[in-house]
Structure 1
Amino acid sequence: MVDSAITAPLIVLPEMLDHFDTDQAAWLNASAMLAGVMWAPLLGKCADVYGKRRVLLWTLAISGAGALLCAVAPSIWMFVPGRLLQGAAVAAMFLAVAIVRDVCAPRLAMVVVGIVTSGSAVLNIGSRFALEGLAERFGFQILFAGSAVIAATMAICVRAVVPESRVTTPGRIDVGGALLLGGGLAGVLSYVSLGSEFGWFAPVPLVLLACGAAALLRWLLVSRRKPEPLIDLRDLGGPLALTLLVVVLATGSYQSMLQLFPLVADVGAEQGLGYGLAGQGSVALLLAAPGVGVMLGGPLAGALAARVGPAATLAGAVLLGVAGTLGMFAGATAYPAAIFFALVLGFTVGALGTSGFNMAASLAPPERQGLVSSLVMVMVATGSVVLNFVGAAVLKSTSVAIGGDTVNSATGVYSYVTIACCAFAAAAVLAVVLSRRMSRVKE
């Protein structure tokens, strides 16, 4: 379900840009993840209060409705709201993890979390090729119609099979905090998106930046006074804060690379731009390679975490991600290298997601599993959105005109990869610090 809402649309990103006559790739792609920043903590808190199974059903219904809206949207102004609703699907991931923690013993849960967070890659690998063919025949809208069908099917299965949570905790839902957090991030990221087009000091982008910053500041001030805020920053603790920082930097870097793949694959080497993979191989295969890596990395990381601990596994995954991102300097011009390093990055993110969830869950009591797991998803969404928008702004500000068409320059593409490398390197430093700190605690 998460893949159908977040990753699968990347296959048809160039077609969507042409259909809506826009160059705002980040809004078409990352708006669902942006919504996830608001949906995740809200639904995580609801899950602890009302039950994880019930909230998972709400999640599937909201996301399915958003997918239908995207499928019929005549303009980008209807498409983006649909993506914002569809973004509720990101909650399906952490709710599944929280349910696993409810029904499994701790050591077994670490392995099962790896299967849950990465097992869908088995289906996603094959679906890449089917979706590419369906999109060519019926248009990109077929992907969103398919996502709605998946949501309905999963809702039926969840209702029939998944038990309701045995542990709930009374509490209030901070809807206002979710709106302030989501709206604030939307304003700041709108500035990043529009500033490169209209000018960084143009009135409209500056107004959006000011409104977004004001909303985030308001959220921070109000959250510190509320007895039950959406995210209680006072109760994070050092290890959990480090875990969240690693996740936001590393997953953001990976998601930004996924956004770059179809854009590089849409350019041919014969155009003389200094990069390009068009004509060298299938885009579907390029996007399926990370799925293979995820399928392998998730369960392996779960098994390793049960032996050496989630902190050490997390550090190893991030270090591997640094190598995978560096390899994309070669992958921008050579299809075999692109496939190999896409596989490495997929392995990294499979291990990263499993280790991040396991690490956060090990630091939380049973009655807060939903909320703490949602914070990991908030970091996944925040990192993905920020680096996707930053990368898109870099590409836009460095684009060149050739034959009357505006295309991404080699400077923009390699600067994009450099930013992702720096984010992964920063995450690696933090992950090593976290691993050493947790080792000292065990001793």
Structure 2
Amino acid sequence: MHNMPLSPGEAERAPLSRGKSFALLALIILLVEVIPLAYNFVTPALPEIAKHFGTANVGWVITIVTLVLAASTPLVGKLGDIYGKKRMMLVSAAVFGAGSVLAALAPTFELFLVGRGLQGAGMAILVLAYGLIRDILPPSIIPVAVGFVATGMGASTILGPIIGGYLIDHFGYTGVFWAQLTHVAVVGIAVAIFVPETTLRTRSKLDVLGAVILGLGAFVLLFGIGKAATWGYTAPQTLLCVGGGLAVLAGWLVYERTPKEPLIDLQMLRHGPVAKTLAASGFVQFVLVSHSMLIPMFVMTDPDLGLGYGFGVTALAVAVYTVPTGIVSMIAGPVGGYFTRRIGPAPVLVFGGAALSLGSVLLATLHDSTAQMMFGQLVIGLGLGSATATLPNLIMRTVPAQTQGIAGGMLNLSGSLGSAIGSQMMIAIVAIPGVVLVGRAAQYSEKGFVYAFFALAVSGLLAAVMGLLLTRNKIERQADVAVPKSEMVA
């Protein structure tokens, strides 16, 4: 069988039938599904994890994943360019599996978080999957294939809470981690056997120091935010951690001017539409991850505790509140894409951010019944689908084609940082009115959740403001954004 040479800069690939192409795509998608399931399986388990380990710092269960993912994704993407994307996908899958085992067996919360951190490092699979699809599948089906990857991840937001809830109710929180191990092991073996490796290799330099500085600065900052409720919001150690973290991050920005291939292109950040789009991504992901944490904690709380909220539902029943949000989001995504083509991406971002803000206000003010909660949830789903669908279109239209890989990586990085900050800030915010210990579990007051939902409303509003500012720009591919000498995949 002869290979089919393509245009310069692309991999040579063997001709594939349409059926085999979609079979390979299905395997890649199944492996990528470890990413959303690492969130959707675990968020309903947060109350049980907090109770098991006797900790109020349960926000770190989500924070550590997004933090490690943000720092490791650009490095893993480059390693895929150097050594092969399939090879690095399998390495990432093995790291994810090791993290799943450690999280399931960890005797202490600290070791549990190490396991979650390993899962975060393994979740860099996504950036490799997009590259592998581009390299091995026929060019004619690549746009459809990329769409299937996004759809598959959307479907898991519906199935994840249902399957995860069942596992938690019947096997405890460890059940979701054994399920993740089984998933990544079975699919990983199938990918190793059937999916071909890309023939494309590029020389690239790894900005390991940049990733370490970024991770350290973000960790110290978020550690200070997470401990603020315990130490005091104006305590010296809180101010030291927050100030120190910000100082390290400032130093990281200075350092990023020196490597030939940095984690981010600071020159690109000086281009207004790019900076606004990245900021909007951070605000949207802040809402997405924080919202997915707050809802299970809220609805699973026993109303008999007298805290003024909660429905006392099981982990499986949490799906009643989250699945409709996922369905609306999946519908709003393609609809948002349609309107992006008709009226441009910036107005769609304005609508999505406004819907996120309105839905969060509704959750803050109307949460005494399931019907009231569902109304806010549906509005949130409308905002998430619209906003997340338009952000990639915005970044693609604001940079030249040659730098879209770099810009896409920066979009992922800003979103990951927004997720990490959001998950940690939510725990700090809900604890502001005080924490009540019931047994070994920390319980929060209704006022704390109200504050948290209003914080999500502010973040959604800021995303809408970024959209309004972008409507003043001519959102097209700009020629004035510098193109680096070597392309970085992130």
Which range, TM-score by smaller chain? 0.7 to 0.9
Q: Aligned runs of 1:22-421 on 2, under 5 Å?
A: 22-98=55-131, 109=143, 113-159=146-192, 169-202=202-235, 204-236=237-269, 237-278=271-312, 282-363=317-398, 368-401=403-436, 407-421=443-457
Higher-RCO chain (CA-CA 8 Å, sequence separation at least 6): 1
Residue aligned with 2:205, SS: coil
SS in 2 for 1:119: helix
**Alignment partner of 1:429 is 2:465:** yes
Of residues 67-76 and 274-283 in structure 1, the stretch that sits farther from structure 2 once superposed is 274-283
Q: Structure 1 residues 188, 96: CA separation in 2 closer, same or farther (over 3 Å shift)?
A: same
Query: In structure 2, do the counterparts of structure 1 residues 344 and 56 end up closer, same or farther at CA, with 3 Å as the change threshold?
Result: farther
Q: RMSD of the alignment, in Å?
A: 3.1
Identical counterparts, % of pairs: 29
The letter for the 1-side match of 2:75 is L
CA distance in 1: counterparts of 2:318 and 2:223, whole angstroms: 29
TM-score between the two structures when normalised by the length of structure 1: 0.88
Contact 2:394–2:475, Cα closer than 8 Å, also in 1: no
TM-score calculated relative to the size of structure 2: 0.80
* SS in structure 2 at match of 1:25: coil
Distance 1:406 1:235, change over 3 A: closer
Once residues 113 and 73 of structure 2 are traced to their aligned partners in structure 1, the CA distance between those partners, rounded to angstroms, is 18
Partner SS, residue 438 of structure 1: coil
CA distance in 1, matches of 2:127, 2:150: 9
Cα offset, 1:162, TM superposition: 5.3
Contact in 2 for aligned 1:247/1:380 (Cα 8 Å): yes
The one-letter code sitting in structure 1 at the alignment partner of 2:283 is: L
| CA distance, structure 2, for counterparts of residue 364 and residue 440 of structure 1 | 8
Are residues 19 and 289 of structure 1, via their aligned partners in 2, closer, same or farther at CA, if it must alter by over 3 Å? same
Which deviates more, 430-439 or 200-209? 200-209
Worse overlay, 18-27 or 293-302: 293-302
Q: Which amino acid aligns with 1:265?
A: V
CA distance in 1, matches of 2:196, 2:49: 39
Secondary structure of the corresponding residue to residue 120 of structure 1: helix
The 1-side partners of 2:67 and 2:59 are apart by 10
Where do 5+ consecutive residues of structure 1 fail to align?
none
Deviates more, 1:301-310 or 1:130-139: 301-310
341 and 159 in structure 1: CA distance in 2 versus 1, 3 angstrom threshold: farther
Structure 2 counterpart of 1:377, which letter?
N
CA deviations 1:371-400 (Å, max 9, x no partner) are 432222212211111122112111122125
Is the 8 Å Cα contact of residues 324 and 345 (structure 1) preserved in structure 2? yes
2: distance between equivalents of 1:22 and 1:51? 41
> Match of 1:225, SS?
coil
Q: Highest CA radius of gyration, 1 or 2?
A: 2
Shift of residue 415, structure 1, vs aligned partner: 0.9
Following TM superposition, by how much is the alpha carbon of 1:256 offset from its aligned partner in structure 2, in angstroms? 1.0
**Separation of aligned partners in 1, 2:201 and 2:406:** 12
Amino acid at match of 1:288: V
- Which range moved further: 331-340 or 245-254? 331-340
Unaligned runs of 5+ in 2: 1-33, 479-490
1:99 Cα deviation from its structure 2 partner: 5.1
Q: Cα deviation per residue 1:347-378 (whole Å; 9 max; x = unaligned)?
A: 43233333223332444566655443222221
